[in-house]
């Protein structure tokens, strides 16, 4: 089956760090760009970060709200994407989804994981 | 920064047609995606590249994009269409390149 499975969420104090992982199966990971998208409780979707596939240099982009605090990476040998989050704030509390870009000429997320919850609280 | 504006809610009776709009500056020049999200579930793309329907999405669901408004149209609405719908684009000039609209809650009366 084609699927994305997130892990690593939990309760963390403000200012601390957390690392999320997205394990994929059922498709050739290295062919696809990947993204993290979050959703605060009762709110809408907010894009967090993306990483292009190795053919495009695995370059990264970040939302202004997380730039300098979060780092997205990928391990193509293990078919895993990571999101390293540091200096966490209460406003980072959200469900974090891993998503696959479909690979076309614009960004369209055709496969999503079920999400992992991150709660930032004292 | 580029902004996408959606109505917070749309209501429609079963069997009728629902239209969800997504307004943005010259959005007609961009590629628009639409996602459906049901309670407790991850989003699912229902329209990509303005009007493309991914495999498994019924023909009742369609998209259009012109000028300053993109529209998601759901014909012969069913109870199972009740969900939140989000539009999304890529914008090179924004600090945050992937832009989502605020979402629209579709209620089936």
Between the CA of residue A60 and those of A50, A64, B5, B21, B85, what are the distances in Å? 6, 13, 27, 31, 27
The length of chain A in residues reads 122
Q: Which of B27, B63, B98 to mutate to test binding with chain A, by most A CBs within 10 Å of its CB?
A: B98
Query: How many other C-beta atoms are found inside a 10 Å radius of the C-beta of residue B62?
Result: 17
Q: State residue B98's pLDDT score.
A: 95
Q: Give the tokens for residue A18.
A: 């957390």
Of residues A73, A70, A19, A75, the one with CA closest to residue A47: A70
DSSP B52: B
Q: How far is B93 from chain A (nearest CA, A)?
A: 12
Q: B74 forms bridges with which residues in the sheet? A: B18, B61
Query: How many other C-beta atoms are found inside a 10 Å radius of the C-beta of residue B51?
Result: 15
Q: State residue B18's pLDDT score.
A: 98
Q: How far is B48 from chain A (nearest CA, A)?
A: 6
Nearest CA in chain A to B90: A107
DSSP A46-82: EEEEEE--GGGTT-EEE-TTTTTTEEEEEETTTTEEE
Q: State residue B92's pLDDT score.
A: 86
The rounded average pLDDT for each run of 10 residues, N- to C-terminus, in chain A (122 residues) is 97 98 97 97 97 95 96 98 98 98 88 98 94
Please report, in tens digits, the pLDDT of each residue of chain B (109 residues total).
Answer: 899 999 999 999 999 999 999 999 999 999 999 999 999 999 999 999 999 999 999 999 999 999 999 999 999 999 999 999 999 999 988 888 999 999 999 999 9
DSSP A31: G
Q: How far is B99 from chain A (nearest CA, A)?
A: 7
Does B100 sit within 8 Å of A113, measured CB to CB?
Answer: no
Q: State residue B95's pLDDT score.
A: 83
Residue A29 φ/ψ, nearest 5 degrees: -55, -40
Helix (H/G/I), strand (E/B), else coil: A30: helix
CB A24 within 8 A of CB A110: no
pLDDT tens-digit map of B82-91: 999 999 999 9
């Amino acid at each position: 089956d084609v699927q994305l499975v997130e892990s690593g969420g939990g309760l963390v104090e403000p200012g601390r760090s957390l690392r999320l992982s997205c394990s994929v199966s059922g498709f050739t990971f290295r062919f696809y760009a990947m993204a993290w998208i979050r959703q605060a409780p009762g709110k809408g979707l907010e894009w967090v970060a993306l990483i292009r596939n190795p053919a495009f240099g695995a370059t990264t982009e970040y939302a202004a709200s997380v730039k300098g605090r979060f780092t997205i990476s990928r391990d193509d040998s293990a078919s895993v994407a990571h999101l390293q989050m540091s200096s966490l704030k209460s406003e980072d509390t959200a469900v974090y989804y891993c998503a696959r870009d479909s690979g076309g000429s614009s960004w369209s997320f055709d496969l999503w994981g079920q999400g992992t919850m991150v709660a930032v609280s004292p | 920064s580029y902004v996408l504006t959606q109505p917070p809610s749309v209501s429609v009776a079963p069997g009728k047609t629902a239209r969800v709009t997504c307004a943005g500056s010259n959005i007609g020049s961009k590629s628009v995606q639409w996602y459906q999200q049901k309670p407790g579930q991850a989003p699912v793309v229902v329209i990509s590249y303005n009007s493309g329907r991914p495999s498994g999405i019924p023909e009742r669901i369609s998209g259009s994009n012109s000028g300053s408004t993109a529209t998601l149209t759901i014909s012969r609405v069913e109870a199972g269409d009740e969900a939140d719908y989000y539009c999304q684009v890529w914008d090179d000039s924004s600090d945050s390149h992937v832009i989502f609209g605020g979402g629209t809650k579709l209620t089936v009366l």
